[in-house]
Amino acid sequence: MVASLKVGIAGLGTVGASVVRLIAQQCAVLGVRCGRKIEVVAATARKRKKRGPDLDRIRWVDNAKKLAADPEIDVFVELMGGDGDPAKAAIETALANGKSVVTANKALLAKHGLALAALAEKNKVALNFEAAVGGVIPIVKTLREGMAGNSFARVYGILNGTCNYILTRMEREKLPFDVLLKDAQRLGYAEADPTFDIEGYDTAQKLAIVASLAFGIRVDERAINVEGISSLSPEDLEAADELGYRVKLLGVAMRTAKGIEQRVHPTMVPKDSAIAQVMGVTNALSIDAHGINPITLVGPGAGGAATAASVVADIGDIARGVRTAPFGRPTAKLVVSKKAPMQRHEGGYYIRLLAVDRPGTFATITKHLAAQKISLESIVQRHSDAAPHGGDDPKSPAKPAPVILITYATTEDAVRRALKAIKKQGVIAGHPQVIRIEKN
């Protein structure tokens, strides 16, 4: 009879408690599917307190590092979070002691993933992290194992539910960003300090892991150009809708002639694309591989039950004896990808300007765009809310009017140079809004 796989869990918050309950509920099914029984035998957390019958009967260990070295466990599950100790030290201890590790810690992997993967390989144990990227969506297994025979051209997706929730409501209800952010915080979708989510850093950490799996590069979130969604307005989403697009915060990694381009930013995507249909707190990843039609994976990207499902699936792989290089290739084979400046990005752009009402304004704008070889696909000029000449006073200047430009494929550098030159001419007010367009 095969001995049971004994699991120790560090972190008994929403996800950790859900993992314990899921293993208990699915004990018989897991035993059949994995060929051996899986049982949680020990746990630790920041505070020891009553947590209910499912958790109180598990043996308590004083701290995570001690649990990681416990001779009675086979697998160490890290669900504490944080990009350093105690999570890092505990995982290192477990791997050094020949124990496989399962983690949902994207921040730790983005910062120390290579060193941890090398340690796992050295000790011939598994380091699994499906839950770190897309909750219940099997992104890691798809890229690392399910499509191991494919060469990838581009991977891109919605990897943060908070931002997708805000953008969905901004589009549907025409409410400003600040109002919707407060509502997201009230509902528990956004933290008290939402910077990490809304400025794109959470997406960047996940993209760093995805890009490594897809393109065989070293995990490095510093190689990613990052922009958030806080500058967007309902007017931008309304304009996108009229032009046949929808705005999403995307993480994009793609193969180019100059290397692997990695970027996170608000993006206009065609409304008929699969990624545009993903609304609310849902996450998605689209995969462009050579020789096959694009694949889009969609599902809950966070939450106790969703994350626990991926954690238990990773434990199940270990029970089956499945072990592969954490990032799909031996760490020694992963290559360095230098940060590609956004000046090199090529694609279409949405540009919203506030044009002053005076003769020659539009000619000046188009002249500087042409100087940078930027061609326009469409132009939309909106009327100012103010009356002509500012109302009853004919000497009062008119309010600047919004002008929306959609360009054909060009470079980031060309767009930025053109806008800088236009601003110097004094024909626009405020700061131009620029959103990249990602085609199917």
Give me the catalytic one of 37, 111, 141, 206: 206
What percent helix, strand, coil does the chain show, rounded to 5? 40, 25, 35
Segments of 229-281 assigned E as strands: 245-256, 259-270
What is the phi/psi pair of residue 347, to 5°? 175, -175
Contact at 8 Å (CB) between 248 and 241? no
**What's the N-to-C CA distance of the chain in angstroms?**
52
Residue extent(s) of CATH 3.30.70.260 domains in the chain: 344-437
CATH superfamily of 344-437: ACT domain (3.30.70.260)
Task: Specify the pTM.
Answer: 0.91
What local confidence, expressed as pLDDT, does residue 389 receive? 43
According to DSSP, the β-strands at 127-128 and 38-44 are unpaired
CA distances 364 to 59, 232, 251, 361, 369, Å, are: 73, 26, 34, 5, 9
pLDDT tens for 9-22 read 999 999 999 999 99
**Ranges in the chain annotated CATH 3.30.360.10:** 141-300
- Based on the residue annotation, tell me whether 206 is a catalytic residue of this protein: yes
Residue 219 DSSP class: -
> For residue 52, what pLDDT is reported?
65
- The pLDDT tens digits along the chain (440 residues) read 689 999 999 999 999 999 999 999 999 999 999 999 999 999 999 877 766 656 778 999 999 999 999 999 999 999 999 999 999 999 999 999 999 999 999 999 999 999 999 999 999 999 999 999 988 999 999 999 999 999 999 999 999 999 999 999 999 999 999 999 999 999 888 888 999 999 999 999 999 999 999 999 999 999 999 999 999 999 999 999 998 999 999 999 999 888 899 999 999 999 999 999 999 999 999 999 998 999 999 999 888 899 999 999 999 999 999 999 999 999 999 999 877 777 777 789 999 999 998 889 989 999 999 999 999 998 887 665 544 444 445 555 668 888 999 999 999 899 999 999 999 999 999 899 999 998 76
Contact 205, 221 (CB under 8 A): yes
pLDDT at 112: 96
The answer for residues whose C-beta is within 8 angstroms of residue 29's C-beta and 6 or more apart is none
d(CA 56, CA 43): 10
DSSP 318-362: HHHT----TTSS-GGG-B--PPPPGGG-EEEEEEEEEE-SSTTHH
Confidence (pLDDT) at 398: 67
Domain with CATH 3.40.50.720 in the chain: 5-136
pLDDT score for 259:
85
Q: What is the pLDDT of residue 383?
A: 62
Give me 45's structure tokens. Answer: 């957390």
Q: Between 3.40.50.620, 2.60.320.10, 3.40.50.720, 3.40.50.150, what CATH number should domain 5-136 receive?
A: 3.40.50.720
Tens digits of per-residue pLDDT, 350-359? 999 999 988 8
Pick the closest to residue 405 from 268, 219, 261, 312 (CA basis).
268
CATH number of 141-300: 3.30.360.10
Helix locations, 123-160, DSSP H: 131-134, 139-141
- Predicted pLDDT of residue 51: 64
Cβ burial, residue 242 (10 Å; 0-12/13-18/19+)? exposed
pLDDT value at position 266? Answer: 96
Tokens of residue 106, six digits: 């994207």
Instruction: State whether residue 260 is helix, strand or coil.
Output: strand
Q: How far is CA 104 from the centre of its chain?
A: 14
